Amino acid sequence: MKLLVASHNKGKINEFKEILKNTEFEVISLADLNDTDEVEETGLTFYENAYIKANYYFQKYNLPVISDDSGLVVKVLNNQPGVYSSRYSGKGDYENNLKLLSNLNKETERKAHFECVLVYINKHGDLHSFKGRLYGAIHYEMKGVQGFGYDPIFYLKRYNKTLAELGSLKNRISHRSKALAKFKRYIYENTYNK
């Protein structure tokens, strides 16, 4: 069964494909459909933004669609950048990281979490959502070259590394992998246990 990932983010699409391999889904992306539409994320929550994207592409293609909205939540910054994570600086990933480090400056309270909300619309138009979180802290500098987004500054004490230093391990522990694990469990229970 085809499953459309409603994203133009290559890093995110690769994570979906890696995490959902060996499932019943043939994961396709918007690039596979030569679709360059940009859907404006006007929601105030991760769920609202994920729903806006999923619903738009479901209506357009009438295919099962999965969409996520995710971001970094830093407690001491009043939960910023939150839903504005990808456009925090108005530029790219590197500038977003620099802005966040600058805003934290010498702040010692650096607890943070990544949050992912998935919205899945099946071929019948039924909607389901799944959430995943990964807790950590903001490092004082960028470290590592793998991953994308805030991975170079998101520090995990138990590994003594940032997400950008973890390689393939990231896809087994990330906020997105946790949400996708719930999605896979839902699909399995509703496909095989009827």
pLDDT band of 191, cuts 50, 70, 90: low
Q: Which domain holds residue 28?
A: 2-192
pLDDT band of 171, cuts 50, 70, 90: confident
Q: Are 72 and 154 in contact (CB under 8 A)?
A: yes
> How many domains in the chain?
1
Give per-residue pLDDT as tens, 68-118.
999 999 999 999 999 999 999 999 999 999 999 999 998 999 999 999 999
Choose the catalytic residue: 68, 69, 93, 151.
69
Q: Are 57 and 6 in contact (CB under 8 A)?
A: yes
Q: What is the mean pLDDT of residues 128-143?
A: 97
Q: Are 191 and 24 in contact (CB under 8 A)?
A: yes
Return d(Cα 175, Cα 151) in angstroms, integer: 12
SS3 of 135, please? strand
Residue 18 burial by Cβ neighbours in a 10 Å radius (0-12, 13-18, 19+): middle
pTM recorded for the entire structure = 0.89
| Parallel, antiparallel or unpaired: strands 65-74 and 111-121 | antiparallel
CATH number for the domain that contains residue 95: 3.90.950.10
Known catalytic membership, residue 69: yes
Q: What is the mean pLDDT of residues 150-161?
A: 97
Return d(Cα 21, Cα 171) in angstroms, integer: 12
pLDDT at residue number 10: 86
Task: Region of 95 please: left (phi>0), alpha (psi -120 to 50) or beta.
Answer: alpha
Q: Which residues, 6 or more positions from 81, have their beta carbon under 8 angstroms from its beta carbon?
A: 71, 72, 74, 88, 96, 100
